[in-house]
């Protein structure tokens, strides 16, 4: 096999990353049923970028994430999810990954605010129990994965950001399916890890910002993220829990 085919950025290296993520989610021990549903329904959208936290990659991600939000796949599938994987940096400690995750979200917000307001159904205050990341005026729940995560369900060789629309959680609640699914996922996570994730909570109990990176944080933790005054002026409460 030609060794050049596995150089960073090569098509085969990108396909390898995508294949490994698909296998990661498909593994019988992986706890998240929503991610499995997205994979099985063909609504798991995978994109690969060069470097988490790099400005050029943020612009590429912003373009692709907006395309996903307005896509037919997202509009017509209950569990559609957008997965952004980054070739580098690898071998991150949890705090390093957390800082890069929030740098990337800050970059996305600064690109987005010129065109879209923060969604009015969620808070832009990261300390608020009603906080959710907003992009293209769509509330999104963000899941970070990387090789150094203390949570096995978040431990993936490449730094990765997974974006899920809050809308899907609302739909599950309306259909009466959320509580059972949530309980099953948490049981599966305990079976995998041996303990419950201390950061998990329902929407409206505490800020979901505390959950994004996967690192256990204390009560005084504040994410390195600042919302534009233009965006935050229009944010308020949220009519649903997830």
**Tens digit of pLDDT for each residue in 168-184?**
877 777 777 778 888 89
Name 207's bridge partners: none
SS3 content of the chain, % helix, strand, coil (to 5): 45, 15, 40
Residue 61 pLDDT exceeds 60 = yes
Q: What is the pLDDT of residues 111-144, one digit of tens each?
A: 999 999 999 999 999 999 999 999 999 999 999 9
Query: Which pLDDT score, from 0 to 100, does residue 237 have?
Result: 37
Name 46's bridge partners: 83
130 vs 143: CA distance, rounded Å: 17
Query: Which pLDDT score, from 0 to 100, does residue 192 have?
Result: 94
- pLDDT band at residue 242 using 50, 70 and 90 as cut-offs: very low
| Residue 39 Cα distances to 36, 79, 83, 188, angstroms | 5, 9, 11, 18
Q: What would the two tokens of residue 45 be? A: 């959208």
- Of 5, 2, 95, 17, whose CA–CA distance to 50 is shortest? 17
Q: Residue 135 has what DSSP assignment?
A: E
Residue 5 pLDDT exceeds 70 = no
Query: Which pLDDT score, from 0 to 100, does residue 109 have?
Result: 98
| Residue 98 Cα distances to 26, 89, 184, 203, angstroms | 25, 13, 27, 21
pTM: 0.88
| Distance in Å from the first CA to the final CA of the chain | 47
27 vs 24: CA distance, rounded Å: 5
């Amino acid at each position: 096999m030609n060794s050049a085919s596995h150089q960073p950025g090569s098509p085969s290296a990108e396909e390898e990353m995508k294949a490994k993520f698909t296998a990661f989610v498909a593994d019988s021990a992986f706890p998240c049923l929503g991610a499995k549903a997205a994979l099985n329904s063909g609504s798991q959208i995978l994109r690969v970028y060069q470097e988490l936290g790099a400005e050029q990659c943020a612009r590429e991600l912003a373009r692709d994430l907006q395309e996903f939000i307005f896509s037919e796949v997202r509009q017509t599938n209950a569990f559609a999810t957008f997965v952004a994987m980054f070739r580098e940096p690898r071998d991150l400690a949890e705090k390093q990954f957390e800082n890069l995750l929030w740098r990337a979200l800050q970059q996305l917000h600064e690109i987005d605010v010129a065109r879209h307001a923060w969604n009015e159904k969620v808070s832009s205050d990261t300390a608020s129990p009603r906080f959710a990341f907003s992009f293209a005026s769509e509330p999104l729940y963000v899941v970070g994965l990387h090789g150094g995560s203390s949570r096995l369900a978040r431990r993936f060789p490449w730094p990765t950001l997974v974006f899920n629309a809050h809308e899907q959680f609302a739909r599950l609640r309306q259909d009466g399916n959320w509580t059972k699914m949530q309980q099953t996922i948490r049981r599966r996570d305990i079976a995998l890890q041996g303990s419950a994730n201390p950061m998990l909570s329902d929407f409206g109990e505490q800020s979901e910002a505390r959950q994004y990176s996967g690192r256990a944080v204390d009560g005084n933790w504040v994410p390195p993220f600042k919302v534009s005054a233009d965006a935050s002026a229009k944010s308020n409460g949220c009519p649903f829990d997830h």
